[in-house]
Amino acid sequence: MTDFPCNSCGASLRFTPGAQTLACPYCGSRNDIPAPAAEARIEEKDFDQELAVEGDFDGNYAEINYQCRSCAASFTLSDSVLSGQCGFCQTPYQRQPEEKRAILPQAVLPFRLDQKAALQSYRNWIGSRWFAPNSLEDLARVKAQLLGHYLPHWTIDAEVDTRYTGSRGEHYWDTESYTDSQGNRQTRQVRRTRWYPAAGEVTNSFDDILIVAAPTELPREYARALEPWKLSDLVPYDPSYLAGFTARAHGLPLPKAFAEARDLVAATITESVKDDIGGDEQIVLTQQSRWYDMSCKAILLPVWYMNYRHGDKVYKIAVNAITGEVQGERPWSGWKICAAIIFGLIVIALIVGGVSMLQQH
C-alpha cells in the first residue's frame, strides 16, 4: 500500500492535472512530485522474454478484501486495481496487486486536462450535436459525474518483412469503333489494362502500436478513437500520478495483444505491398509476413469518463485527458428529429408554392 499524506494536515493528496504536484483537497497545500532521475528511462521489454515472464496469464485477477485505512470500511475489489477511492469516505488509495504475474505499468502519461476542462470539452461535443436531447446538456453541468481513470495499454514495436505475389496492372488507351444512335460509324478512346506478374518483399517498421489492455473499461472503438496520444510525454511509472484517480493493471495477455496489433497493421502492410507492385492497379494474391525485433511496454493513458442513463439504456462518454477529444454514445431526441422533418417539409412547400406563383405570372 502506498500513501501520500499532506505535509500540513495529513490528509490524502491528489495529483494535480497539468502540474508536477500533489494537492491537498482540504488545506490546499501542494507537495511536489520529484522529477525522474536523469538516468531514469522507459525501456522497451523484449517481446519473447515478456511472454515467458507472463507465462500462462489469462488476464483474470482474483477478488480480494480491502479495508480503507482512513475509515476502516471493508469492501471487495479486483486484485488488478492499482488505485481508486474508498466508496464510503472517498479517500484515495494506491496499491500493488498481490498476484505475482500481475502486469504492472512501466510508464504513465499524466493527466493534463483537469475535470473542468474535460467538462467543457464534453459540453462542446454535446453542443455540436443538435439532435441530442436537452437532458444531456443538463447532465454536462453535473460535475461529479465525470471521473478520472488511467486506461492500460500495450505498445508494440516490430519490424515486419512481407513476401508477396500478385499482379501489376498498367493502363493504356485503345481506339474503338462503334455505331451511334443515328447509324453513323464513330470512334472513341477506351481505357484498357495490361496485367503483369509481380513478386517481391517489403519491410515495415512499426513503433508504438497501441492496444487497449482493459477490454471491459471502455468500448474498444471509443478508446481507439481517442487517439492520438502524445506518447513522447510518457514518464517512468510513479504511483504519485495515480493519486485521486482509478487505475487497473493490464488485463489483456500479450498473445491477444499481438493478435490485435497484427490485425491493426494488416491494411498498412497491404498498402506497402501495393506500392511496391506499382503500376496503375494492383492485385495481391499472397502475403507472408515475418515479425521480428519485437518489443513492448505496459503504459497507462488518462481519460475522463462518464456512464449515464437515458431511458432504459446506459451510455458511455470518454474524454482524452491530454487533447480533449471526446468519444462516446448519445441518444437521439425524437421531438428534435420530428421538428427538423416538419421544418424541412415547410421549406419545400414554400419553395414549391413560390415556383408555382412565378409560373402563373
State residue 333's pLDDT score: 44
Same domain for 312 and 219: yes
Same domain for 360 and 271: no
Whether residue 135 has pLDDT greater than 70: no
Kindly state whether residue 6 falls inside one of the protein's structural domains.
no
pLDDT band at residue 254 under the 50/70/90 scheme: very high
Q: Residue 195: name the closest of 281, 83, 81, 69 by CA.
A: 281
Kindly state whether residue 182 falls inside one of the protein's structural domains.
yes
- Cell reading at 298: 505496459
Kindly state whether residue 315 falls inside one of the protein's structural domains.
yes
State residue 136's pLDDT score: 56
Give the integer Cα–Cα distance in Å for 106 and 237.
Answer: 5
Which residues have C-beta within 8 Å of that of residue 152, sequence separation ≥ 6? 105, 212, 213, 214, 247, 248, 249, 250, 251, 252, 298, 299, 300, 301
Same domain for 352 and 263: no
pLDDT band at residue 144 under the 50/70/90 scheme: very low
- The beta-strand segments (E) located in 40-94 are 45-46, 63-67, 74-78, 81-85, 92-94
Same domain for 218 and 174: no
Q: Which of 114-118, 142-146, 282-286, 347-351 has the highest mean pLDDT?
A: 282-286
Same domain for 235 and 283: yes
The model's pTM is: 0.82
The domain boundary residue, chosen from 156, 181, 196 = 196
DSSP class of 11: P
Q: How many domains does the chain divide into?
A: 3
Same domain for 220 and 352: no
Q: Which of 99-103, 132-136, 188-192, 212-216 has the highest mean pLDDT?
A: 188-192
pLDDT band at residue 38 under the 50/70/90 scheme: low
Domain extent, residue 174, equals 169-196
Same domain for 296 and 157: yes
State residue 156's pLDDT score: 97
Kindly state whether residue 234 falls inside one of the protein's structural domains.
yes
Same domain for 146 and 70: yes
Same domain for 60 and 28: yes
State residue 137's pLDDT score: 56
Tens of pLDDT along 270-325? 999 999 999 999 999 999 999 999 999 999 999 998 877 666 777 788 899 999 99
Same domain for 104 and 220: yes
Whether residue 29 has pLDDT greater than 90: no
Kindly state whether residue 3 falls inside one of the protein's structural domains.
no
Same domain for 219 and 104: yes
Same domain for 127 and 23: yes
